[in-house]
Copies of this chain bind each other. A is one copy, B any other.
Amino acid sequence: MSERRTVLRAAALGGVGLGLSAATPAAAATGRGPRIAILLYDGLTALDAVGPYEVLSRVPDASVFTVAKRAGQLRTDTGVLGLVADRSLRQVGHADVLLIPGAGNRGVIAAMDDAETLDWVRRIHRRTTWTTSVCTGALILGAAGLLTGVPATTYWASRTYLRDTFGAVLTEGRFVESGKIITAAGVSAGIDMALHLAAKLAGDRVAQALQLAVEYDPAPPFDTGSPDKAGPELQALALQLLEAAAR
């Protein structure tokens, strides 16, 4: 087996291997880079968190960690996937970057109603360099009082709610940067936002390399990814499918 590993490594160095080893590894994380907190909570939408995680966890010297009310396992909105939060809210007093993923109705309402979560978000936000959300995560920023009069976006089906309930200024875009707050549109938009954020943290070259690292050269087989392109019937069907799979 060691022989095989050696072959793989040598092959990789020769450019014909797995290709996942670098000839000259970058410096190991030094603790000098940005501390990036990803808030997890019961009922979250996994891709909202994991898309940005996949990009941001490779920003040089960054330390990414997950945090939730209580450390340990929690379930996503469909109930069929478990994620692990490594730290509790009480264990995290500072982050340079805060990322808040969205959730379905149940998860996001519970988070919006949770005073401990909202207090923590406000406290962490005071000293962040960037405070960010994906999808309905913006409603949690809104509930924390951080989006009043702020240009922002959210999940396509929650835009009116965000404006009417929290006074955000609805703005078009896959993500909207307003001062140090960046809100992304729904679910997969977190990947686009994370590449933008990686460029802010480490420069365009690193962000461009990270786009290649996750081979993000999208080619969806359909072109129905926005409500305008999809039209009202697919909008209704999308909401039905989300509801049917919700736990």
Rounded to whole Å, the gap between the CB of A11 and the closest CB of chain B is 7
CB of A188 closer than 8 Å to a CB of B: yes
Rounded to whole Å, the gap between the CB of A7 and the closest CB of chain B is 9
Q: Are A18 and B136 in contact (CB under 8 A)?
A: yes
Give CA–CA (A11, B104) in the complex, Å: 15
Cβ-defined partner of A222 (8 Å) among B18, B53, B105, B208: B208
8 contacts between A and B (CB under 8 A): A16-B160, A17-B158, A19-B158, A22-B243, A27-B244, A65-B80, A66-B81, A195-B222
Q: In chain B, what residue has the closest Cβ to A108?
A: B18
Give CA–CA (A242, B54) in the complex, Å: 10
Rounded to whole Å, the gap between the CB of A5 and the closest CB of chain B is 6
Cβ-defined partner of A195 (8 Å) among B19, B164, B212, B221: B221
Rounded to whole Å, the gap between the CB of A119 and the closest CB of chain B is 17
CB of A60 closer than 8 Å to a CB of B: yes
Contact bitstring A216-242, B, C-beta under 8 A = 1, else 0: 111111101111011000111111111
Q: Are A234 and B209 in contact (CB under 8 A)?
A: yes
Which A51-69 residues have a C-beta within 8 angstroms of B?
51, 53-54, 57-58, 60, 63-66
Q: How many residues of A contact B (CB 8 A)?
A: 108
Q: Are B83 and A83 in contact (CB under 8 A)?
A: yes
Which residues of chain B come closer than 8 Å to A60, judged between CB atoms?
241, 244
Which residues of chain B come closer than 8 Å to A144, judged between CB atoms?
none
Stretch binding the partner chain, chosen from A91-99, A122-130, A199-207: A199-207
Which residues of chain B come closer than 8 Å to A204, judged between CB atoms?
222
Q: Are A212 and B187 in contact (CB under 8 A)?
A: no
Cβ-defined partner of A8 (8 Å) among B80, B105, B210, B222: B105
Not counting A8-B161, A46-B54, A209-B238, a sample of 18 additional A-B residue pairs whose C-beta atoms are within 8 angstroms of each other reads: A16-B164, A18-B139, A21-B105, A22-B239, A29-B245, A46-B53, A54-B187, A64-B81, A80-B86, A189-B217, A195-B220, A195-B221, A196-B221, A208-B230, A210-B241, A212-B226, A212-B238, A218-B218
Which residues of chain B come closer than 8 Å to A236, judged between CB atoms?
22-23
CB of A113 closer than 8 Å to a CB of B: yes
